[in-house]
Structure 1
Amino acid sequence: MVQHYDALIVGGGPAGSTMARTLTQKGYRTLVVDKQTFPRDKTCAGWVTPAVLDVLDIDPQDYARNNVMQPIHRFRIGMMGQDAVENDHGSEPVSYGIRRCEFDHYLLERSGSERAEGVKFKSLERTEEGEWCLNGEYQAPLVIGAGGHFCPVASFIGEGPGSHETAVTAKEVEFEMTPEQSERCQVRGDTPELWFCRDLQGYAWVFRKGNYLNIGLGREDPDNLKNHLQDFVQGMQAEGRIPEELPSKFKGHAYLLYDHAERPLIDDGILLIGDAAGLAYTQSGEGIRPAIESAIMAAEVIESTSDYSAAALQPYADRLRERFGQKEVEKQGGLAIPEWAKMRVAAPLMKTHWFTKRVVTERWFLHEHVPTLETAS
């Protein structure tokens, strides 16, 4: 028997759970469909800014009672092959380290939505009533794609994930250190480390959250990713900053940067949010804040209309552009800076406290210049 809902949300990550919670609180009957069962492992460096916690109405102290919540006060930043610069951002946390397996489960649990976990996307078809039917089991007038870079809903309405877009490919590992490893590890919990590749095509990170350590590297050219990661890890081990023995398997994932994404965001009765829409910040690759904000903006557009045609949902795409700016792929003209010039300037800048603190950290990674999202509620 087919089950009827007001909205089907494909993907239970931060974007999907935020959408589910926002709509459910407004009286919509929603269903979150995810191929995995929560809590599930999720590859992600894992940190959230106070702006994210504010819009999600999460108290850090309350969350920390049952979950990892690592306050961040400093950053250690450098270009590979150079000495790092360490900057202190004050007594108040400027960000928090979280474990995505815990964070995503927490958000989904509190969403209040019905859930179909462990259910793979198999088919999406139009019914005679003009609604959508997922897997021949779940029906609704609206489908929201929130399944990340490889979201099947994104593939359904476009040419397919990554078909003509430049994606960042990353490999990382997160593990709990032994007491001996924890004692020897020189990386401090309140001070994540960011190391930029000399060709400016990506960066690596080492991030400690209590006894958990996350190590990874992401690049826009995936061909040399394995070699770059291997060199970085060996260098960190040689300096004694990370344990010599690491789990052998680094997990890979991919995401689209907002400036480079060319995906359609809407169709009749369909919306894409979060990484499925390609909204990760261009400089840092962070996707959690854009994911959550896109879900809230989409929910407000949904609430404002009973017409789910592409034309009626267009205000969502307009709000995204207003919030995140015009994409580089949409811009015409302008002065292109040669790559050699960028690299020549970057090396000395990465040695300065002003650039690493005011630009790299506060602007690129913390987005302190971006005000908290204003909502209709």
Structure 2
Amino acid sequence: MDYYDAIIVGAGPAGSTLARSLESSGKHVLIIDKQSFPRDKTCAGWVTPAVFESLDINPNDYSQARTLQPIRRFRIGMMGQRAVENDHGGIVSYGIRRCEFDAFLLDRVTAPKQLGTPVKTIIRQNGNWTVNDQWQAPLLIGAGGHFCPVAKLLGSGPGRHETVVAAKEVEFEMTPEQARACQTRGDTPELWFCRDLKGYAWVFRKGNFLNIGLGREDNLRLSDHLEAFVADMKQTGRIPADLPGRFKGHAYLLYAHADRPLVDDGVMLIGDAAGLAYTQSGEGIRPAIESALMAAKVILEAADTSAVSLQPYGEQITARFGNRISEQEPAGFDLPEWLKQPIASTLMRSHWFTRKVVTEKWFLHQQVPPLKVAV
């Protein structure tokens, strides 16, 4: 039996960030993931400068031999009407490929890794967690996304308040012919909101790679919505007429309406396992990174691994992201009640609204400074 100070289940951005933070402070950590890395990860794939700052990554260094698409504009519209394009006057975000980004973060971790290793058993005994009858630790962290086995261990599941977003997307490298036919520009991602305001679709070009997808706060007729959107984008020349492969699906919880516990005795949840995706955009990379940094600080300052000692993590999450399960908050991608009225169509044609509210506030969170946690 191998003994560690902490076992982290999930080697994505949340898990790798936590592992690196803990090991730099002398903790003996094991990170486990059912996938081998690099691996494909269904995700539109963009990160803001705040993420690079929190991770102490120089974008110029990262871009060496990796895809890093500067984003300076956004093209936003409601399906069925013309889009509005806004120039932000500088780089406001970056397009990345998750297979590269996640592998890069994990490669910075020197702690032991068990990759390509599904978690089959988790047993609590004498104040310790035993995983797969091989590894033991007093602290277990769930960082394995929406279906994380640690979250299931806590009895997490869709609650009466929870809103599960279902999404489908595809990412592929375009041929020279496809690249010439694609009118979407690399520095200008396109966001298209469903007319019922229960989701949105996107077209995102990263050099020669193209990512297309659609997410909704319910999976009712998700494929039908996606097929209609793709057909329209093909007809208008925004994307190539021939798309290879199939669209992959994934799911996640939106922060304001997730009902998952964050801590218990000897256990914590971070990232999508905790249901931290931004409520209005569904973006989860920045919340994942920040939750890992906050969790590391609490772990290093905690007197023990009891729920009482770990509770400051939950308090910090609330202070950073706000209260959860509020009836006053809009559900899922839903917008405020006043925006559901016919005025929504007009607002989505407004340069000021699509730039200041949709892009800069909901998607980029420019009003929130980068999180830098000293551990």
Alignment of 1:1-377 (within 5 A): 2-90=1-89, 92-128=90-126, 130-160=127-157, 162=158, 164=160, 165-327=162-324, 329-330=325-326, 342-377=340-375
- Match of 2:342, SS state, is helix
If the length of structure 1 is used for normalisation, what is the TM-score? 0.95
Distance 1:337 1:173 in 2: 26
Deviation at residue 4 of structure 1 after TM alignment? 0.8
Change in Cα spacing, 1:102 to 1:374, as seen in structure 2 (3 Å) is: closer
Deviation at residue 151 of structure 1 after TM alignment? 0.5
Distance 2:234 2:56 in 1: 39
If the length of structure 2 is used for normalisation, what is the TM-score? 0.96
Report runs of 4+ in structure 1 exceeding 3 Å deviation. Answer: 330-334, 336-341
Give the number of equivalent residue pairs: 371
Distance 1:10 1:362 in 2: 33
Unaligned runs of 5+ residues in structure 2 are none
CA offsets per residue over residues 333-356 of structure 1, 9 Å max, x none? 99x998586141211000010000
Change in Cα spacing, 1:295 to 1:341, as seen in structure 2 (3 Å) is: closer
AA in 2 matched with 1:196 = F
Distance 1:234 1:330 in 2: 37
Are the aligned partners of 1:198 and 1:343 in contact in 2 as well (CA < 8 Å)?
Answer: no
Are the aligned partners of 1:274 and 1:291 in contact in 2 as well (CA < 8 Å)?
Answer: yes
Distance 1:321 1:149 in 2: 19
Deviation at residue 374 of structure 1 after TM alignment? 3.8
Change in Cα spacing, 1:344 to 1:357, as seen in structure 2 (3 Å) is: same
Change in Cα spacing, 1:175 to 1:260, as seen in structure 2 (3 Å) is: same
Are the aligned partners of 1:73 and 1:190 in contact in 2 as well (CA < 8 Å)?
Answer: yes
Unaligned runs of 5+ residues in structure 1 are none
- Match of 2:354, SS state, is helix
AA in 2 matched with 1:211 = N
Are the aligned partners of 1:199 and 1:343 in contact in 2 as well (CA < 8 Å)?
Answer: no
Deviation at residue 99 of structure 1 after TM alignment? 0.1
Deviation at residue 127 of structure 1 after TM alignment? 2.7
- Match of 2:220, SS state, is helix
Are the aligned partners of 1:14 and 1:107 in contact in 2 as well (CA < 8 Å)?
Answer: yes
Are the aligned partners of 2:121 and 2:132 in contact in 1 as well (CA < 8 Å)?
Answer: yes
Change in Cα spacing, 1:13 to 1:338, as seen in structure 2 (3 Å) is: closer
RMSD (CA atoms): 1.7
- Match of 1:280, SS state, is coil
Deviation at residue 371 of structure 1 after TM alignment? 1.2
Deviation at residue 330 of structure 1 after TM alignment? 4.0
Are the aligned partners of 1:349 and 1:355 in contact in 2 as well (CA < 8 Å)?
Answer: yes
